[in-house]
Amino acid sequence: MSTPDHPLRRSMGRVPLPADDPALFELDLDGLAGRWADAMARAPMTAEEMTGADVRAQRMGMPGIRLMEQAGSATASVAHALAVANDRWESGPILILCGSGNNGGDGFVTARRLAAAGSRVAVALVATGTRPGTSDAARNWDRLGRLPGVERVHAPVARDVALLGHGVERAAIVVDALLGTGVRGLLREPVRSAVELANRARAAGVPVLAVDCPTAVDLTSGELSDPVVRADVTVTFHRPKVGLLTRRGAAVAGRVLVAPIGIPPGADRA
């Protein structure tokens, strides 16, 4: 595996964003941490601050679909590195559990990128609605329907999630893209059953990767819902999150990587 001081970084002077970085799938987890060292060293932010930065970035000309592409591309590279680190790459399909919002959209991009890298992917829309609830997520869900190596599943109720969990111990890894920032209170079905499925997989030895935050950690306070995903690795975006640095948040997040996704510096200002 490559070291954090990758030749591409030296030659370009700055690190390209994940969707435009051909070196990412060559890197292990330490290499990715080094590659994204600038983002990881930024000041932490709350869930509300991240939401504001996202909105302002789009007003400044960065489309939401592009931010989603960057986030999903970063997540795919971390998923690959996590699977390789555990000798599970190509040992079985990668299971991606996705909610109906933009966190799920990040998961759909992750599925596409992993399939392009040669992995078998099972991606589940864990939601009562038949389609994702945002336009960007819906566009990326639709793109998966034409791809070989990707199995799309809709799991609108707990029973469907239970069926999805049959043989989950044979998955290479599980990716939690169910809920992102701003989660508070008790989880509802079918997301609750999906969280329990992710934790059951981890108990069986399957590594779990969380997208943005483990479901359901409050990224501002670090408070946990019940149940909450317990991840081995979490990839969050733009800046570290306050909630993942608290004692409770850190206990369920595992190793945390922070990936840049193209939010301009000016978007951080209120």
**Are the CB atoms for 116 and 140 separated by under 8 Å?**
no
pTM of the model: 0.93
Q: Is there a contact between 157 and 124 (Cβ–Cβ < 8 Å)?
A: no
Residue 95 confidence (pLDDT)? 98
**Looking at residue 9, what is its pLDDT?**
39
Q: For 51-103, how does the pLDDT look when each residue is reduced to its tens digit (9 = 90+)?
A: 999 999 999 999 999 999 999 999 999 999 999 999 999 999 999 999 999 99
**15: DSSP letter:** P
What is the model's pLDDT at position 64? 96
Among candidates 222, 101, 112, 230, which has minimal Cα distance to 174?
Answer: 230
Amino acid 14: pLDDT: 80
> How far is the C-alpha of 64 from the C-alpha of 121, rounded, in Å?
24
Q: Quick one: pLDDT at residue 182?
A: 57
Instruction: Tell me if 124 sits within 8 A of 149, measured CB to CB.
Output: no
- In this prediction, residue 226 carries a pLDDT of 86
Orientation of helix 135-144 relative to helix 64-85, angle to 10°: 50
Measured on CA atoms in the order 194, 196, 199, 204, is the torsion positive or negative? negative
* Tokens standing for residue 205: 């030895």
Q: Which residues of the chain have pLDDT under 70?
A: 1-13, 181-184, 270
pLDDT of residue 58: 94
- Cα distance between residue 167 and residue 49, in whole Å: 40
